[in-house]
Amino acid sequence: MSFFWITAQEIIAPIIVLIAIGAILHRAFRFDMNTLSKLILYFFVPSIAFVKIYEASLSPMLLVQVVGFLLLQFVLLLLLTETIGKLFSFSRGFRASFTNSVVLTNNGNIGIPVNDLAFRHDPLAMSIQIVVVVFEILVTFTFGLLKASAATKGLSASIRHFFRLPVLYAILLGLLLNLAQLDIPAMIWTPAKHAADGMLAIALVSIGAQIASVSLKKQTWLVLVSGMLRLAVSPLIAFGVISILGLEGITAQALFIASAIPTSRNSASLALEYGNEPEFAAQAVLVSTLLSTVTLTLCITLSSQLFPS
């Protein structure tokens, strides 16, 4: 019980506070949501992608194991959400937002502090979490972006748009500098770090602003279905994949916890940018974040019991 309250107070509560601040500020000043969305997509996201990839320290074996798990889990969740979308005849735009709300997670801003708290600064656990974060960045701004933009722009236009986004080149540059082990001058690294550190606040404030401008009663049952898939079904799938791959100990625990992280705020940013049911996307982020105060704590507790180190 004490661990539940520590997680809720130190990890989830600050996130809810920032979302609430965004809602209050938007009510008072009426932000330009289009400008806010572009600021996140074209400045803050490339900054955090570059910094996280450059800082990652990975062994080849760990990388193969973790990426194998993440790919298999991603494919299974994608098949599940696409099947649900076809069964319920979702529109193309809604299917894009629904799928992104399930397959894209907030493993950077929520997953990293959760990992740090759950494993008490264990370097192996954090290395695994960094791999997860890099994978999420790549999936978000390849699959997630193309899924969101193709619903309104078409596939060929979406591909052209993707190659104009700075996040792609930020990822490649960070990877090249990491592999080459080159030092970055302070005049570049310091502002990049400041921008990456500001990502959490600006992203969550923007979600709060989105939520303040829409009704939270729309598509309630679909929001709950999305939350259930992200917070309950995803860990069940993760358990199966971990068992199939024979992963054990801290590696299995860290991946199991990462699978229970709530919906990425980037899914809401993409929905807003491309006009794919932004009300649903914002609600999915909020509801999954709120519900994760319970589900994530349960998964942290279960991880050590299911996969003893």
Domains and CATH numbers, the chain: 2-306 (1.20.1530.20)
Residue 214: pLDDT over 70: no
The residue-averaged pLDDT of 199-206 equals 82
Task: Give mean pLDDT, residues 66-73.
Answer: 96
258 CB-near residues (< 8 Å, 6+ apart)? 105, 107, 111, 115, 128, 129, 132, 238
CA–CA gap between residue 258 and residue 109 (Å, rounded): 12
Task: State mean pLDDT over 234-240.
Answer: 97
Q: What is the pTM of this model?
A: 0.80
d(CA 109, CA 125): 16
In whole angstroms, give the CA distance from residue 257 to residue 251: 10
Within a 13 Å sphere around the CA of 137, how many CA atoms are in the beta-carbon half?
29
**How many angstroms separate the CA atoms of 156 and 150, rounded?**
8
**DSSP-based three-state secondary structure for 161:** helix
Please tell me the predicted confidence (pLDDT) of residue 294.
87
Q: For residues 282-294, give the mean pLDDT.
A: 86
> What gap in Å lies between CA 141 and CA 231, rounded to an integer?
22
User: pLDDT band at 239, cuts 50/70/90?
Assistant: very high
Rounded to 5°, angle at Cα 61 from 57 and 63: 50
User: Can you tell me the distance from the alpha carbon of 24 to that of 49, in angstroms, rounded to the nearest whole number?
Assistant: 29
Most confident of 70-79, 155-164, 277-286: 70-79
Mean pLDDT of all residues in the chain?
86
